[in-house]
Chain A
Amino acid sequence: MIEAKNVNFYYHTFHALKDINMQIEDNSVTALIGPSGCGKSTFLRLFNRMNDEIDGAKLTGECLINNENIYHKSVQVDLLRKNVGMVFQKPNPFPKSILENVAYGLRVNGINNKQLIEEKVKESLTAAALWNEVKDKLHKSAFELSGGQQQRLCIARALAVSPSILLMDEPASALDPISTAKIEELIFELKQRYTIIIVTHNMQQAARVSDKTGFFMYGELVEHSETKKMFLAPDKTETQNYITGRFG
């Protein structure tokens, strides 16, 4: 279970998140939607502490994973990030081979056993629906892959260190419809084993892939409910205006 309790976040004096309360169940997909600058990516990044290093950033309230406050001083950030994987908008493979990209996190975590690494690489690439496409060119550069394949490689890289949570920040916004469909299909598969939070500007994508949707506006969580309900009969007028394109 992931939980935000009375979360407020500031960039210097800018109040980016305002008293956010949200609970996210295990093995579910939650989509975060809202206009640019509404705070959804800031909220997403709280859960693997990617905002920590931003100058002037300040957090109040609690971010809990399995009832543990991940901002408690006893929490080791590298261990937290092993449990909470992140996939970004633009595929960002390392300038290494396909195999080494996936093995990177394992090596950083002290695993050097070749057989174990190869098994884990295969397992992660299979889970990311990429194995069949790359199994014969594992030692080729990751840059030789298409954009969609690179994004799935980044997902495989995140999965290799056995996280339980995946954060996705617009993972398909730079991809063509076929690659997007593959990523969405992958999200369906992955939710059986992982809890996924996805930020997206694509309303149809949010409607297709998520179980629940949170709508942010001006740093506030306006509405958080079942995706089916949100897209058929949202409770709030602001939500309806946004998802029907009447916002602004």
Chain B
Amino acid sequence: MKHTEKEIQLLKDEVKLMWKLVISQLENAKKAMLNNDIALATKIIRNENDVNTFELKVDNLCENFIALNNPVAIDLRLALSLIKISSSLERIGDFTDGIARFITDKECETLDPDLIERLNIEKMFDTLLGMLLDGFVAFETEQTKVSEKIISKDDQVDEIYNNVFETLATHIKNNPAQTICMLKLLLLIRKLERIGDHNNNIVEEIVFFVDARVLKHSGSNNF
């Protein structure tokens, strides 16, 4: 393997490690949320620092790679994409940390499991985890055939998000003492919706890296 190819492999490996950590954080957030597992939520908060460290490391590796190797074509697209992918992964890490902090919030200790089910939060988590995993596989195999499918999953997340308002409003009306907690829950669901957006951004970067196509701001017409 040539020197440049080793550097590229190192970059990819580092991002994949970061990706796996973020997937694990989101999986744990789902478990902690559904089981009200404060210990697991605390672990997520503790690990958040590692996600941030990964972002700095990937940025640094990409900067060095660009400065020292003058990459062009697919190598340049890889470096540019990885900077953005790691930034999106870091944001997903931040949102997951926010979810964990909600779980440890004393004010919202007694959430009604039926309400969580009616809000479709588990499905939201599962869809987001699917997007994140499919994106990882697309990046690892450099196959973009599934990109349209991944991006369309974000519509499912958006649909769930758009349906929560009425459910929450009714719940607040019937349980006014829980208003603050419900508002915090709405913010949590908003974080999940934003994770979907970042998953989309990641897929767009994979398509740019592999196919040199720009999907950003183009709707779905470019597939």
Chain A residues at the B interface, C-beta cutoff of 8 Å: 203-204, 207, 231-234, 239-240, 243-246
**Contacts A244-B72, A245-B2 supplied; 10 other A-B pairs, CB < 8 Å:** A203-B72, A207-B72, A233-B73, A234-B73, A239-B73, A243-B73, A244-B4, A244-B71, A245-B4, A246-B5
Interface-centre pick from B72, B74, B77 (highest chain A CB count, 10 A)? B72
* Chain A residue at smallest Cβ distance from B74: A240
B174 within 8 A of A: no
Establish whether residues A243 and B2, one from each chain, have CB atoms under 8 Å apart when the complex forms. Answer: no
3 nearest A-B residue pairs (beta carbon): A233-B212, A231-B72, A240-B73
Contact flags B62-93 to A (C-beta < 8 A → 1, else 0): 00000000111111110000000000000000
Nearest residue, chain B, Cβ from A245: B4
Asked whether, in the complex, the Cβ of A231 is within 8 Å of the Cβ of B4, the reply is no
A231, A232, A243, A244 — most chain B CB neighbours (10 Å): A244
CA distance A239 to B76 in the complex (A): 14
Q: Known: A233-B77, A245-B2. Is A204-B71 also a contact (CB below 8 A)?
A: no
Measured between alpha carbons, how far is A244 from B71 in the docked complex, in Å? 7
Min Cβ gap B210→A in Å is 11
Query: How many interface contacts (CB-CB < 8 Å) are there between A and B?
Result: 31
Contact flag A232-B212 (CB < 8 Å), given A244-B75, A245-B4: yes
Chain A contacts for B76, CB-based, 8 A = 231-232
Q: Give Cα distance in the complex from A244 to B76, angstroms.
A: 9
Min C-beta distance of B25 to chain A, whole Å: 34
Which of B5, B74, B212 has its CB near the most chain A CB atoms (within 10 A)? B74
CB neighbours of A233 from chain B (8 A): 73, 77, 212
B62–chain A nearest beta-carbon distance, Å: 16
Alpha-carbon separation in the docked complex, A204 to B71 (Å): 10
Closest A residue to B214 using CB positions: A233
The 8 listed contacts between A and B (C-beta, < 8 Å) are: A203-B72, A232-B212, A233-B73, A233-B77, A243-B72, A244-B4, A244-B72, A245-B4
Q: Which chain A residues lie closer than 8 Å to B2 at the CB level?
A: 245-246
> When each residue 1-30 of chain B gets 1 if its CB lies under 8 Å from chain A and 0 otherwise, what string results?
010110000000000000000000000000
Within 8 A of A (CB), among B26-83: 70-77
Compute how far the CA of A245 lies from the CA of B68 in the bound complex, rounded to whole angstroms: 14
A204 contacts B70, CB within 8 Å? yes
> Taking the nearest CB of chain A, how far is it from the CB of B124, in angstroms?
36
Residues of B within 8 A of A245 (CB): 2, 4
Residue of A239, A240, A243, A245 with most chain B CB atoms under a 10 A cut-off:
A245
Q: Judging by beta carbons under 8 Å apart, are A203 and B212 in contact?
A: no
- State in angstroms the CA–CA spacing of A200 and B75 once bound together: 21
Most buried by A among B4, B70, B73, B77: B73
